[in-house]
Amino acid sequence: MAAFCRRPVGRVISVFLLNSFIFFSVSFAQELRQQNTSVRALGMGNAYVALVRDADALFYNPAGLAETSGFNWTIADPKVGISGLEAYGKVQDLQESSSFASTLRELYGEKVYATAGAKTALTTPFFAAAFYDSLNTSLAINNPAVTEIDATIINDLGYALGFGYSIVPGLQMGMVFKRISRTGNVTTL
C-alpha cells in the first residue's frame, strides 16, 4: 500500500523535472521602470487603475479594455522630462574646464536625469496594441572625497498587445502581452 501511494508522487515529480529540462530557457532580470505613465494618471497620484478606458489600459489595467468603445488611434504620444532647469544648467557647466571641479561639488548628492519617449497605440472594442520607445538618462555624483560619477543611459523599445472582456456587468478581465528590448549601460566613472 505504501509503495502505491509513492508512485503517483514519483511520477508527478518525474514529469515536472522532465518538463523543466525540455522547456528550459535562460532569462535575465533587470529593474523595469513603469512604462508609459500618462499625465492623467500622474495627476491622480497613479490611482488610475479603476478608471482607465483607453490605450493606457495596456500599462495600468488591461480589464479596462472591455469598456473601450469605437476605433481610436493615438498617432504620437510624446513625453519629455528633466530633473529641473537648475540641474540642467549645472550639467551644461560641466563642459567648461575652468568650472568642472566646482560644478561636481555642487552636483554632489543630486541626481540629474532626462527622459524622452513616444508611443503610438490603436484601440478597438476589447483589443489594443501599442508600440513605444523610452530613453532614460541619469547622472549622479556620489563620493566627494574620490569623485564617483554614476552615468546611466537606458533605452526601452517595445510593444504591447492586450484584450479585455466583460464577465458580468461590473466585472471585467483582461490580459496583456508585452515585449521589451532594453539597451544601454550603467557605468561608474
Give the integer Cα–Cα distance in Å for 150 and 186: 7
Three cell numbers written together for 6: 509513492
pLDDT in tens, 60-81: 999 999 999 899 999 998 988 8
- Say how far apart CA 67 and CA 164 lie, in whole Å: 8
**Helix 85-93 crosses helix 100-107 at what angle (to 10 degrees)?**
150
pTM: 0.69
The DSSP letter of residue 172 is: E
pLDDT one-digit tens code per residue, 29-64: 655 566 677 888 888 888 888 889 888 999 899 999
